[in-house]
Copies of this chain bind each other. A is one copy, B any other.
Amino acid sequence: MDMLVEHPRIPLGEKEFEAGSFADHTTPLIRNCWYVAALGGEVSREIISRRLLGVDIALYRTEAGAPVAVRNRCPHRSFPLAKGRLVGDTLICGYHGMQFDPSGRCVSMPSMPIVPTNAQVRSFDLVERAPLIWIWMGDPNKADESLVPDTPWLNDENWKSVSGQFFLNSDYVSMHENLLDQTHFPFLHPGVIGTPEYARSKLKIRREGEVVIIDRLLKNSPPPGVYAMPTGLTGKPVDRHSEARFQSPALHVAFAKIVNPTPPPGALTEYCFNITHIFTPENNESIHYWWFNSRNFDLQNKASDEFLHAASDKAYLEDVDALEWIMDVVRKDTEKQFDLNFAPDKPGLLMRRALYDRAAAEAGYEL
C-alpha cells in the first residue's frame, strides 16, 4: 500500500497559503511566466482579442510585421481596443479616437489640445518564435527573453508537424497532471497510445529546478498504434524511449524515440516524435490549448500526416472530454472531496507543489 495523501481544495481568492500544499483549479494563476498568446498566423493587421490569465488582450501586427499586444481596454472609458482600427502602427480607439503606439503610449487624444503623454494602455512583451507568439503578463521587470521555452523542432525543415487546438473548460493544472500521468493511457485512450506493457514499465522521475521529467524505457515490445503506422513497425518488437517534461506552466513536451534493433538494409534505426502541448489559461477554469505532433522522418508522407493528426486529435479530445467532465462535477458538486493520491501521481504532485509554491511566492508568501 502506498501513500494516500489528502489535499484540501483551497477556495479561490482565499488569502492564506500553507506550506506543503498542491496547486489545483483554485490556486491563483502564475503570472511571471511566458505563455503562448497566439499562433503567429492568427495575428495580422486585423486586430483580434483574446482573454489570457483573466485579462483581455488586443493583438495585431505593425506594418513591419512585429506582433503587438496591449490590454483590450482603453484607459479612458474601457472601450475594447480590438474594436478600434489601425492606421499605420497606431491603434485608434473606436470610441473617442484616442491613439496608442505599439508601446501603449498615447500619441494623440483628438479632443485634447495637448497630447496626454502620461496616458497609456499597458502593452505586453511578446517574443515570436515561429509558429508561436509568447507573451509576458507578469511583472514587466522580470520579463526575460532568455526564459522563453525553446521548441526548435516546430520551425525546422528536418521536422514535420501536424497540429490542432482546443478551447476547454478545465484548469491547466489538471491538464499538466494528465500529461505527467501515463497510467491513464490504457483506460482513457485504449488501443491508440497505451499498451499494457508500457503502462507497467518502470519510470524515473527527475527534477531540474522546477522542471519535472519522467524517463521511461520499454524494450522489445511492439509500438502502440500511434507510432506503429508512421514507422511501419506494427507488431515488431522495438525499444521505446520516452521523456515527458513539465517544462513550465505554459508547456509540456514529450519526446518519444522508437528504436528498431534489427532494421532491414537501408531502413532507419531511430524514429523520433516530439509532442508539444501548450496551455494558456483564460482563467482558473478554462484554457487555450495548442498541440503539435512532430516527427523527424518520412516528412513528405501525407498519409502519415493524416494518420497522426487524426490519432492525436482523437486522443487529446478524450483528455479534453475527461477533464471537462471532471471540472463540471467539481464545480457543481455541493459535497467537497479531498482527492486521494497514489504512487504514480508523484510526478503530477511534484508539478503541483512547484506551481503552488510559485503562486504563493507571487502572492508574497514565503513557504
- Taking Cβ atoms with an 8 Å cutoff, the residues of A that contact B are 1-2, 4, 51, 54-56, 71-73, 75-80, 83, 92-97, 109-112, 114, 116-119, 174, 177, 181, 183-184, 186-188, 199, 283, 322, 325-326, 328-330, 332-335, 337, 339-344
Contacts and interface: CB of A to CB of B under 8 A. Distances in A.
Contacts of A330: 78
A339 B75 CA distance: 5
Contacts of A337: 73, 75, 78
A239 to B, nearest CB: 22
Query: Main SS of chain A's interface residues?
Result: loop
A93 to B, nearest CB: 7
A104 to B, nearest CB: 13
A208 to B, nearest CB: 25
- When all copies of this chain in the complex are counted, the total is 3
11 contacts: A1-B114, A1-B116, A2-B112, A54-B335, A55-B333, A78-B329, A95-B184, A96-B184, A97-B186, A110-B187, A111-B183
A1 B96 CA distance: 17
Nearest to A83: B325
Contacts of A76: 339-342
A126 B330 CA distance: 24
Contact of A339 (B77, B112, B181, B329): B77
A80 B340 contact: no
Contacts of A322: 79, 83, 94-95
Most chain B beta-carbon neighbours within 10 Å: one of A4, A71, A73: A73
A116 to B, nearest CB: 6
A195 to B, nearest CB: 13
A2 B75 CA distance: 15
A72 B330 CA distance: 11
Given A54-B334, A55-B334, A83-B325, A116 B2 contact: yes
The 7 closest A-B pairs by CB, nearest first: A54-B334, A111-B183, A97-B187, A111-B344, A78-B326, A55-B335, A96-B184
